[in-house]
Amino acid sequence: MSYIDPNYKPFKKDLICKFLVEPKVRVSIEKACEDIAAESSIGTWTELTTMEPGIKKLGPHVFRIKESGEVLIAYPSLLFEEGNIPQILSSIAGNIFGMKAIKNLRLLDVEFPENIVKSFPGPRFGIHGVRRILHVRKRPLVGTIIKPKLGLNSEKHAHVAYESWVGGCDLVKDDENLTNQSFNPFKERVIKTLEMRDRAEEETGEKKIYIPNITAETGEMIRRAEFVRENGCEYVMIDIVTAGFSAVQSLREEDLGLVIHAHRAMHAAFTRNKKHGISMLVLAKISRLIGVDQLHIGTAVGKMEGPREEVVETKEGITRRWYDIKDVFPVCSGGLHPGLVPELIGIIGNDIIIQAGGGVHGHPEGTRKGAMAMRQAVDAVMNSIPLEEYAKEHRELQAALDKWNPSG
């Protein structure tokens, strides 16, 4: 049976995938598309004696093939189990990447029908909920990551967090590969850091947030989340790709009342090759469905790979209106320092969490002054004052500009 039908008009309940298809030499793009459609739905490599007429109605439709290799395929939503991301991905992003007819294949985007979208919980808090917790209405939130990412004991870790908060950071989080190592045990770290959070709140009069990394086996991860909540912390962080989407969904459905901060470690294994794999936009949409509240999207200006257009597209994918699913707070992190703040806000806007690790702790005068410089940079942008002008009366910002942005 053929799956190509350029006259097909998708139904509201169709799930539509946008692929970039590059067939192998001497394989037509039409043949490649037929193979993709078959393998991702009801077909296989040969004719079947078991293919009943009713089953054929579940077949997808390849309704657009462009010269560029961009292909649109509409799948009946009956092919998918609602509320089951692993099953959906096993279909639209499963065996198809290993097929012989394909040289390169990239899943660029997915349009989920309403019935599938509404089968997921989505974020509990979203941008508005996070801002309400922090009592910050308009400006970008300022965060940092404890550095060095590994090696500090729990007491020193807590002290670095304290210095970051009193300097002006709203949020302080663990890095992606710090969990429960012997030099910095999870429970001890959480207790000591929350003690420093309370002290920083009392001294500054501002709400401060600690985001511990709970990434682990699913059951252990949920136990860590419960421990965090019992000790008065409102946040947890998960490395969502390495932990797995179903593990994240399990945590969300525990409904512990915690903000879920999603780190995307390992995403580039899927997203970096622009001809093959899965786009960050797709991973971001899935993350929003399963219920994360904050998500790393790239920076377009820092150390990590990711073109501006991709970062903006991902940001729009997690913040635009999507039925009754709440939005996700975009997080930008990776090589950021005060000198990059104006450009970053200009690209992404005010609804952003600016996380600087080295850009805070690498300040010539230490962590506290580094946090002050980041906050000053945000304040300058919010008041429409050029950084160089604002730095004349804020020496912490000036020292940061002298180190990382000497040419202005």
Domains of the chain, CATH where assigned: 14-117 (3.30.70.150), 126-404 (3.20.20.110)
Q: What pLDDT, on a 0 to 100 scale, did the predictor assign at position 52?
A: 80
pLDDT value, residue 305: 52
Q: Which of 61, 157, 208, 263 is catalytic?
A: 263
Question: Peptide bond preceding 148: is omega within 30 degrees of 0, i.e. cis?
Answer: yes
**158 with 369: CB under 8 angstroms?**
no
Pairing of strands 353-355, 329-333: parallel
- In the prediction, which pLDDT does 44 show? 75
pLDDT of residue 207: 98
pLDDT score of 407: 58
- What sign results for the dihedral spanned by CA atoms 186, 188, 194, 197? negative
Helix (H, G, I), strand (E, B) or coil at 34: helix
Residue by residue, pLDDT tens for the chain (408 residues) are 789 999 999 999 999 999 999 999 999 999 999 999 999 997 876 777 777 877 888 899 999 999 999 999 999 999 999 999 999 999 999 999 999 999 999 999 999 999 999 999 999 999 999 999 999 999 999 999 999 999 999 999 999 999 999 999 999 999 999 999 999 999 999 999 999 999 999 999 999 999 999 999 999 999 999 999 999 999 999 999 999 999 999 999 998 999 999 999 999 999 999 999 999 999 999 999 999 999 999 887 765 555 788 999 999 999 999 999 999 999 998 889 999 999 999 999 999 999 999 999 999 999 999 999 999 999 999 999 999 999 999 999 999 999 998 655
pLDDT for position 223? 98
Of 3, 12, 20, 5, nearest in space to 276 by CA: 20
d(CA 2, CA 371): 60
237 bridge partner residues: 213, 261
| Active-site residue flag, 263 | yes
pLDDT score, position 303: 56
Query: CA-CA distances (angstroms) from residue 308 to 285, 332, 343, 344, 360?
Result: 18, 12, 11, 10, 23
Q: How many Å apart are CA 34 and CA 31, to the nearest integer?
A: 5
Antiparallel, parallel or unpaired: β 277-278 and 14-23: unpaired
Residue 48: predicted pLDDT: 76
Largest CA distance in the chain: 80
**Is residue 118 among the annotated active site residues?**
no
Q: Determine contact, residues 81/253, Cβ cutoff 8 Å.
A: no
Kindly report the pTM of this predicted structure.
0.94
Select from 51, 39, 45 the least CA-distant residue to 92.
39
Catalytic residue among 61, 147, 208, 361: 147
pLDDT at 342: 95
Q: Which helix (H) or strand (E) holds 403?
A: helix 395-404
Query: In the β-sheet with 102-111, what is the strand arrangement from edge to edge?
Result: 61-65, 70-76, 14-23, 102-111, 277-278
Given strand 209-211, what is the order of strands in its sheet?
A: 209-211, 171-173, 141-145, 353-355, 329-333, 294-296, 259-263, 235-239
Taking alpha carbons only, the member of 197, 148, 144, 157 closest to residue 371 is 144
Pairwise CA distance, residues 16 & 329, whole Å: 25
